[in-house]
Amino acid sequence: MIKAFKVMLVPNNRQRTRLFQFAGTARFAYNWALQKEREAYKVGEKFISNFDLRKEFTVLRNSAEYPWLKTISNNVTKQAIKDCVDAYQRFFKKLAGQPRFKSKRRGDFSFYQDTGKIRITATHVKLEAIATSKRKNRQQLN
């Protein structure tokens, strides 16, 4: 039997900053992929595949131009690129309008977190690559 419980995350300042960095990186990857898709569309191509975009993004990630990309989990950028490709495929199937760029001002701050890498202890919810508190937390999860 699976015990379900409600968990409210209360990140400290360092963790909150890290969460915003993850969301910002997801937005960057989505917008980058969308720009590539729009450039391809302008020259008459259908769309660039998820595999090709991720391969190109890996080269970008390893370049000296964007060193901060290496500090963020690659799962975040992979899912953002996949979301962009899915949105473009829906556009070509006439199921949705043309995808729009993500903005800091418009929309929600979100990113993909691999559920296999989430650890729940008696006092903490540990997310992949998010700074953890070194202080002992006496609050119990209910």
Q: pLDDT for 106-126, tens place per residue?
A: 767 777 677 677 777 777 777
Residue 29 in contact with residue 73, Cβ under 8 Å?
A: no
55 domain residue, yes or no: yes
Q: What is the mean pLDDT of residues 46-55?
A: 89
User: Using an 8 Å Cβ cutoff, are 102 and 31 in contact?
Assistant: yes
Q: Which domain holds residue 67?
A: 13-106
Confidence of residue 136 (pLDDT cuts 50, 70, 90): low
Q: Tell me whether residue 73 is in a domain.
A: yes
Residue 124 lies in a domain: no
Closest CA to 76 of 36, 68, 41, 120: 68
Look at 1-5, 23-27, 58-62, 114-118 and tell me which has the smallest mean pLDDT. Answer: 1-5
**Residue 100 within any structural domain of the chain:** yes
The alpha carbon of 101 is separated from its chain's Cα centroid by a whole number of angstroms, namely: 14
Write a three-state SS string for 52-92. Answer: HHHHHHHHHHCCCCCHHHHHCCHHHHHHHHHHHHHHHHHHH
Domain-embedded: residue 21: yes
Average pLDDT over all residues of the chain: 82
Does residue 75 form part of some domain? yes
Query: Would residue 133 count as lying in a domain?
Result: no
> Where are the extended beta strands (E) located within 33-124?
119-120
Number of domains the chain is built from? 1
On the question of pLDDT at 56 being above 90, the answer is: yes
- Residue 127 has a pLDDT of 73
| Tokens matching residue 102 | 């993500």
Domain-located, residue 32: yes
The residue written with tokens 């360092």 in the block is 14
